[in-house]
Amino acid sequence: MIKKIFTTAAALTLVLTNASLAPLAATTFEDPSNVKPADYAADVSLNPTLEAIIKNASGETINTVDFKQGYKYDFASSKSMTAFENDSVDNPISVAIQTDATPLTGTKIDAIAANDSKTAITKSNNGFPSQRFVVDVSKNMAAGNVIEIYWEGKTLANGLANLSAWDYKAGNWVALSQKEGNAEGKEITLSAEIEVDRFVRDGQVQAMVHDSGTVTNSNDKDFTMLWFTDTQYYAEDYPEIWTSMTDWMIAEFKKGKFEYAMHTGDLINRYEEIEQWEIAKTNLDRMDAANIPYGVLAGNRDVMPDRTQKIYDYSRFGQYAGVDRFKDKPWFGEAMNEENQNHYDLFSFGDHDFIMLYLGFGKDGSQETVDWANKVLKQHADRNAIVGMHENINSLNQYVTDTARTVNREIVNPNENVKMVLSGHHHGANYRVKQVENADGTNREVLEVLANHQGNLPPDRGQGYLRLLTFDPTDETLDFVSYSPYLNDYDFDQFDPAKESFTANFDLADVEAKPNPRQIETDYLAVNIYTDQAIGQVKNVKSGDKATVQWKGLNEKTNYQWYITMINAAGENEKSPIYQFTTGVKEPDPEPEPEPEPSKPTFSDVTPEKPDWAYEAIERMAGKGIIQGYPDKTFKWRNSIERQHVSLMFTRALPELKSKPPYKLFSDVPVGYKYFEPIMATQQAGIVEGYDNKFRPAGMLTRQEMAKVLVVAFDINAKGSHKFPDVDPNGWSDPYIDALYAAGITVGSTDGKFNPKADVTRAEFAVFMDRALTYTKKQ
């Protein structure tokens, strides 16, 4: 037995007071990457080179990249900040600055000082938790400077984090930005630019973050259910009408038009027709995919393969709309049996709790059903109860079956929380209010409603009407509205309009406010000042290329802050975050080193003149013992490199590469083979692979294979895109060549190509490995 509760809750949102305060529209720029000096770097040169890779999602060239000076006020770099926290009864944005707030502790301030996942948390059980920051920016108030408030942190999954600033002119808080929390506990970012004349007074900015949470104590908020029923002829003859209804339900549910749906039987018209069941399944599956909370009961057409003999067979209904469909839904309560003959759902609208009791046709008046239903209703006596039946009253407001009389006499009347009975089956729309005497002698009203818009003749079977039930807790009324999404029409014209759309009383159970925990959790807060103080500019930067400028003449042991502004051909511009570093001390002029004695080449066929482009790399590789040459003292640098020698060079360059059994042997590399150990070690490390269970140890390595083994072996993850026209952008080697290019390990041939399928010479591989080792050391 599965018992769950589904709660719907509306979020309290804040309207942005001034459109100019909203976050800027998104552009095609990406945040700069590979920024140097790294953020918060120390001991930086007094003449540092500022650099970053600049990207435009459109791939277009960036017209100008400006490096400018900025200032960041946070607890790590500024002593002119104070912070407070509060837990208030009123939403803090609606009241004046709360002067009775508690200063943040040193531990919490340290947590906020850096963007490092350490957080300062302020909680509340039923109030509004807030954190307020007072920042002195008086030193950087030059005309033209742009001030931005930036916050990173979290709130609860059902919370709503708000960033606001105090408007000194208006004397109130102004909402700047807000975002909902998330179930994954991921951090969210809020930021906005503010106007100096409104939000800065005596050099100070006051910023506040708070959680306004969700409205769970929504006693006065209207809420709506949807009721659709007797879809039998849609399944048989008019599937497009059912599709239109489902389309509309999904769209309106996403808009918040209704929050729960119910079907009171006759999904299909002919029990034996599998095609009709499949149409029902398609529409119910779509509702499931849209996460619409809903329930279904069985009508006579759903369970009577032989109506003359009144045989009730729930097996097919159980297959298509049984417990397996609903058991994992959060609103599903419990079924009487596995075929889902009777079941109930539990759901809430704010603090208004409901139980929807579904009684399937044919056995709804049995003693088993009566006993089960009374047990369930007593267990949930504090909830507003609605009973769904397939057949209750007819179009004349009469009980025409003993079953209906039994259910009302033995289930509805004795349970004081039952407020309404919904049914279909009989063609028509009607309702009545029944007076019921409770056990203590008091009276209550039970609303009985009939809806079945499908006529018995074909012209009237394709109307597509459903009903919306909107509850108004303020005056405890319930509005019924009939509407056809297929016809885009209200009130079926064959029925009395007063019985199609009407208002009735609905005595909601008294509710008490539930605990409403809220929480604001700050990882980092800063006030950023973007100035026009230029450091340098680069023009016409290709997307994915590096932009660099030098910042000269800085002082020793001083904190500096800077940012980048990017402008494209369309005039779009975007600012980067503000980065900071601290300089070191001036380095003494180095003493001139003595000229080194010319060294003798290691190999007889390798000289400084030939190959001049590879000589130094070959010598470095030889000096490290990575390459050793041939017994005749030659390197044979023009030869293509063999795959077995590649494995050997990797195990020399990376001594930690060792093989261990069990081995996945290649058919052409038996145990005892000369290079068995390096081949197995590089295979187990994922650097090399075989072909059809062969390694081909004497085979040659291609340039695209070289790209892969270097990237894998040295874990090269540089981001960027190459420009080689002869590399298939969808080919397997493209990402590896991208990484080599971005890391500066390859630049291609003189004609601008990469020649991916050409063999790698021994000299070329020595150069590439030398560059890869140098890159890895720098990283």
Give percent of the chain with pLDDT exceeding 90.
Answer: 65
| Residue 706, φ and ψ in degrees, nearest 5 | -60, -40
- The pLDDT value given to residue 572: 86
Tens-digit pLDDT profile for residues 8-53: 333 333 333 333 344 444 567 888 999 999 998 999 999 999 999 9
If one compares 226 and 27, the residue with the highest pLDDT of the two is 226
Residues 255-280: what's their mean pLDDT?
A: 95
- The pLDDT value given to residue 124: 92
CATH topology of domain 223-505: Purple Acid Phosphatase; chain A, domain 2 (3.60.21)
The single-letter DSSP state of residue 578 is P
Residues 194-203: what's their mean pLDDT?
A: 93
Tens-digit pLDDT profile for residues 139-195: 888 888 999 999 999 999 889 999 999 999 999 999 999 999 998 889 999 999 999
- Element spanning 85, H or E: strand 81-88
Tens-digit pLDDT profile for residues 389-438: 999 999 999 998 999 999 999 999 999 999 999 999 999 999 999 999 99
| Domain covering 1-41+67-214+516-534 assigned CATH 2.60.120 in the classification | yes
- The pLDDT value given to residue 535: 96
In this prediction, residue 219 has a pLDDT band, given cuts at 50, 70 and 90, of low
Q: Which of the residue ranges 318-322, 584-588, 604-608 has the most confident prediction, judged by mean pLDDT? A: 318-322
Other C-beta atoms lying within 10 Å of the C-beta of residue 631? 6
Tens-digit pLDDT profile for residues 582-597: 999 987 767 776 666 6
Written as six digits, the tokens of 216 are 């769970």
Cis before 662 (ω within 30): yes
Tell whether the model's pLDDT for residue 2 goes beyond 70. no
Distance in angstroms between the alpha carbons of the first and the last residue of the chain:
57
Tens-digit pLDDT profile for residues 46-98: 999 999 999 988 888 999 999 999 999 999 877 889 999 999 988 999 899 99
Residue corresponding to tokens 């290649």: 666
Tens-digit pLDDT profile for residues 230-253: 999 999 999 999 999 999 999 999
Written as six digits, the tokens of 740 are 């080599």
In this prediction, residue 215 has a pLDDT band, given cuts at 50, 70 and 90, of very low
Tell whether the model's pLDDT for residue 537 goes beyond 60. yes
Taking the C-alpha atoms of residue 580 and residue 561, their distance in angstroms, rounded to an integer, is 4
Tell whether the model's pLDDT for residue 720 goes beyond 70. yes
- The pLDDT value given to residue 513: 61
Tell whether the model's pLDDT for residue 6 goes beyond 60. no
Residue of 390, 392, 380, 448 lying closest to 416 (CA atoms):
380
In this prediction, residue 3 has a pLDDT band, given cuts at 50, 70 and 90, of very low
Tell whether the model's pLDDT for residue 362 goes beyond 90. no
- The pLDDT value given to residue 217: 47
- Element spanning 623, H or E: helix 615-623
Residues 313-331: what's their mean pLDDT?
A: 93
Residue corresponding to tokens 């044919």: 362
If one compares 716 and 227, the residue with the highest pLDDT of the two is 227
β-strand partners of 223: 471
Tell whether the model's pLDDT for residue 204 goes beyond 50. yes
Report the range of poorest mean pLDDT among 109-118, 280-289, 444-453.
109-118
Across 33-66, b (16+ Cβ under 10 Å) vs e yields: eebbbeeebeebbbebebbbbbbbeeeeebbebb
In this prediction, residue 283 has a pLDDT band, given cuts at 50, 70 and 90, of very high
Residue of 208, 203, 210, 161 lying closest to 71 (CA atoms):
203
38: Cβ–Cβ under 8 A, 6 or more apart, which residues?
Answer: 581
Residues 619-630: what's their mean pLDDT?
A: 90
H helices of 380-449, in order, are 402-407
Written as six digits, the tokens of 313 are 């067979």
Q: Are 447 and 414 in contact (CB under 8 A)?
A: no
Residues 454-470: what's their mean pLDDT?
A: 85
Structural domain boundaries of the chain?
1-41+67-214+516-534, 223-505, 615-778
Q: Are 432 and 461 in contact (CB under 8 A)?
A: no
Residues 529-544: what's their mean pLDDT?
A: 94
Looking at residue 397, its amino acid is N
Taking the C-alpha atoms of residue 223 and residue 348, their distance in angstroms, rounded to an integer, is 10
Report the range of poorest mean pLDDT among 59-68, 534-543, 566-575.
566-575
Mean of the per-residue pLDDT values for the chain? 89
- Half-sphere exposure of residue 601: CA atoms within 13 angstroms, side-chain side: 19
Tell me if 1-41+67-214+516-534 shares its fold with 223-505: no
- Half-sphere exposure of residue 123: CA atoms within 13 angstroms, side-chain side: 6
Residues 726-749: what's their mean pLDDT?
A: 88
Query: How much is the pTM?
Result: 0.47
- The pLDDT value given to residue 5: 33
Q: State whether residue 525 is helix, strand or coil.
A: strand
Q: Are 719 and 33 in contact (CB under 8 A)?
A: yes
In this prediction, residue 560 has a pLDDT band, given cuts at 50, 70 and 90, of very high
